[in-house]
A and B are shown apart, each in its own frame.
Chain A
Amino acid sequence: MTKKTGISVPEGYFSKLETRLQSIPNQEVKPTVIQKVSPWLAYAASLAILAALGNFIFGRAAATEEDAWDYYSYLSQSLDPDGQIELMESPTLTEEDDIVSFLIASNIPVEHLEEFDYEEDY
């Protein structure tokens, strides 16, 4: 195996990169989704996700992509009433990125997600 990689960067990239990175201290740091969400909600959501995943894995349900999004809707219903309200009212938990952040924070092995069967319409 050769150690040459064949990868390159745009001309002058590193000097621009250095300037850009050195401007970080002057940028406003935005809180992450998880930082915005209260810890109890993240905990409740992770429990709900685990329960729902168990249901999916052991139920071996074949699902459509639409079902997958229903599944996240279902997860939100698994929270206690206060959690549901906060989840619904939270502008931070409506995008795919937010779901990804929740799943990362809940430490669910990715393999469990990959167990989720997807069956195309034939």
Chain B
Amino acid sequence: MENLEQVFNQIVKDYSERLYWHVRRMVGSHEDADDLLQDIFLKIWTALPSFRGEAQLYTWVWRIATNETLNWLRRERVRAALRFQSIDAELERRILADPYFNGTDAQRELFKALSRLPEKQRQVFVMRWWDELPYEEISAITGTSVGALKASYHIAQEKLKLNLSQAEVSK
């Protein structure tokens, strides 16, 4: 058990900050990212005894983080549907209300546009554009082929450009 704790503590040291930024870019607000990160590391801790070393630790940790983030987004979408709300509007509202967003209007628009992308496209865009992960690593983490990832990234980029240009026009 002590050994597992040491491994876990090392994972926290090595990955917590980088995963925070990934999660934050995915969900928008600091508060949500903070809660979600706690859940992710709880999951890592409970799954650690079953880690067999078939995947690299790096890939395994990222896979848990990205899956948990997608689950969180799906859960929020279901929650919003139950309340007859739009999840896009809700995520936008949280980004606007976040005290730890101090960017420009253009950066805020980018986050709003990002929140309107389907979860998977958002994930690929964030991992490639902001996290700067190579396609091969994203492929190992997500289990999606490099070709499909490139297609998703291209579509996401085009949608973002369109959303941003529409936001500019509507000003």
Chain A residues within 8 Å of B, Cβ to Cβ: 1-10, 14, 17-18, 20-22, 24-25, 27, 29, 65, 68, 96, 99-100, 103-104, 110, 113-114, 116, 118
Q: Are A20 and B110 in contact (CB under 8 A)?
A: no
- Assembled-state Cα–Cα distance A114/B80 (Å): 9
A20 to B40, CA, bound (A): 13
Q: How many residues does chain B have at the interface if contact means C-beta atoms less than 8 Å apart?
A: 44
Q: Given A14-B16, A104-B74, A3 and B101 touching (CB < 8 A)?
A: no
Q: Does B13 sit within 8 A of A, measured CB to CB?
A: yes
Which residues of chain B are near A1, meaning CB under 8 Å?
110, 129, 160-161, 164
- Report Cα–Cα, A110/B100, bound state, in Å: 30
Confirm or deny: B111 has a beta carbon within 8 angstroms of a beta carbon on chain A: yes
Instruction: List chain B residues, Cβ under 8 A from A2.
Output: 106-107, 110
Q: In the complex, how many angstroms separate the beta carbon of A19 from the nearest chain B beta carbon?
A: 9
Establish whether residues B102 and A110, one from each chain, have CB atoms under 8 Å apart when the complex forms: no
Say yes or no: A8 contacts B102, CB within 8 Å: yes
Contacts of A116 in B (CB 8 A): 81
On chain A, the residues within 8 Å of B106 by CB distance are 2
Alpha-carbon distance A4/B25, docked complex (angstroms) = 11
6 A-B pairs besides A1-B110, A24-B42 with CB distance below 8 A are A5-B111, A6-B104, A9-B30, A14-B16, A17-B34, A21-B37
| For the complex of A and B, 7 pairs with smallest distance between CB atoms | A6-B103, A6-B107, A113-B81, A118-B84, A21-B12, A21-B41, A110-B77
By DSSP majority rule, is chain B's interface helix, strand, loop, or mixed?
Answer: helix
State whether A24 touches B45 (Cβ < 8 A): yes
Given A7-B30, A25-B5, check contact A104 B45 (CB 8 Å). no
Once A2-B107, A14-B20 are accepted as A-B contacts, the answer to whether A104 and B75 lie under 8 Å apart by CB is yes
Chain B nearest Cβ from A52, distance in angstroms: 14
Across the interface, A25 reaches (CB within 8 A) one of B38, B45, B100, B101, namely: B45
CB distance from A111 to the nearest CB of B (A): 9
Residues of A contacting B60 in the complex (Cβ-Cβ under 8 angstroms) = none
Are B100 and A7 in contact (CB-based, < 8 A)? Answer: yes
A96 touches B46 (CB 8 A): no
**Closest A residue to B46 using CB positions:** A29
- Taking the complex as formed, is B79 at the interface, i.e. its CB lies under 8 A from any CB of chain A? yes
Q: Is the CB of A104 within 8 A of B71?
A: yes
- From residue B97, how far is it (CB to closest CB) to chain A in Å? 13
Is the Cβ of A5 less than 8 Å from the Cβ of B25? yes
